[in-house]
Every structure is written in structure tokens, then in C-alpha cells.
Amino acid sequence: MEINPNLSENARHDFELVNAARLGDQKAFAQLMKRYKDAIFCMLLKMVNNKTEAEDLAIEAFGKAFTNINQYEPHFAFSTWLFRIASNNAIDHLRKKRTVTVPLEPTIGNDKIIGIEYNYNIRTESDSPEEAFIKEQNAKLLRKAVSTLKPRYRTLLELRYFKEYSYAEIAEELDLPLGTVKVQLFRSREMLFELLKNTEISD
């Protein structure tokens, strides 16, 4: 595959990591995430104005990028491709929300900035970024990360993601109040996100 000769040194290094990732190198995946996690999160936070949603969408964006890594072509920088995935994913997320009457503030996004008019809405379990992420994330990397967590957090994530239990089903399975399940899953996701951002997972 021919690389664009105008790419910067950083972009060329990214391309080397991408090639390694295409061959299944889990450390290459982790390094790419580590290089861009903060910038992606900051961009998404400006778009959705919600820290939790921005974290979810960041994980989902990396999951989509990793799943479709073979589609990347070095005619432009990997970072450009990754930011486009993250931005488009956030836009789709906002569009899927059920509309209510309060418009988004211009600092988050409006039709002049991103070409589409959006509205706030109540986020539901069915359109959560978690669901798309778990279906698209690199399975080996994710399972290794989950396996390093404490048993109670590992169990919650396995039931939610690998077995695709609903919150109510998890509550019944673990004999826990529904509110407790939601709180502990939130903490589990935060721990998983930090682990994926900051840890190079060895083979």
C-alpha cells in the first residue's frame, strides 16, 4: 500500500502502528488509543456537552476504528480518519435521540457548523453507545481488559456486554436493586475506559 509522501513523521509512525494492528498486534491497538484518547474525548465533550456520553462515544469510536482498520488508506493521516469516525459517530448518536423542544446550544453544534440541526432528548437504553461499542470493539482486546478487573465489575461487564443482558436481567441474576446495577455498571465502564486508554495489554 502506497503511503502519501507528504505525511508528517507522526502520521508515518501511526501508519506503522496501523499495519501492526492489521496483523492482530494488540499493543499497536493500545498505542493508537493512547496517542489520541485525550484529543478524541475533548472533541466529543464539546459536541455532546456530557462527560459520560463523551467517554462512551470515545470508546465506541475507537471500537469502530479498530474493527474497520483494514479500510484505512494512507492517503491522509490516521488521525484525520479517526477524528472523522468519532465526529460522524457523535452526530449519529445525537440524531438518534428522541427530540424534545430544547435546541442544542451553538457552542455544541448547529446547522451552520455541522450541516444538521439537532435537539436535546432523553437518552434510552436502546440507543446507548455501549451497545454499538460492544458489537464492534476488538473482542480480544476487550476481553483481556475486562478479565483484569475485580470480580464484581468483571461479572457486570460480562453479563451486560458478552451475554447482552438488560439492566433488569442483571439485577435479577445478581439479586441486586436495579439502581445498584446501574451505578455499578457506570463505575465498571469508567474503569474499563481508563484501562483501555492507559494500559498496553500484552499478548
Confidence of residue 76 (pLDDT cuts 50, 70, 90): confident
For the domain bounded by 1-137, which CATH number is listed? 1.10.1740.10
Q: Are 7 and 177 in contact (CB under 8 A)?
A: no
The cell for 130 is: 455501549
103 pLDDT above the threshold of 60: no
**Lowest-confidence region among 13-17, 25-29, 83-87:** 25-29
Backbone angles phi, psi at 67, to 5 degrees: -65, -35
Of 14, 21, 16, give the one whose Cα is nearest residue 201: 21
Rounded CA-CA distance 115/113 in Å is 6
- H/E/C letters for each residue in 130-194? HHHHHHHCCHHHHHHHHHCCCHHHHHHHHHHHHCCCCHHHHHHHHCCCHHHHHHHHHHHHHHHHH
For the domain bounded by 138-203, which CATH number is listed? 1.10.10.10
81 pLDDT above the threshold of 90: yes
179 pLDDT above the threshold of 60: yes
pLDDT of 161: 73
Mean pLDDT of the chain, nearest integer: 73
Rounded CA-CA distance 162/175 in Å is 19
pLDDT of 1: 54
* Domain boundaries along the sequence of the chain: 1-137, 138-203
105 vs 46, more confident: 46
75 pLDDT above the threshold of 70: yes
51 pLDDT above the threshold of 80: yes
Confidence of residue 134 (pLDDT cuts 50, 70, 90): very low
pLDDT of 41: 92
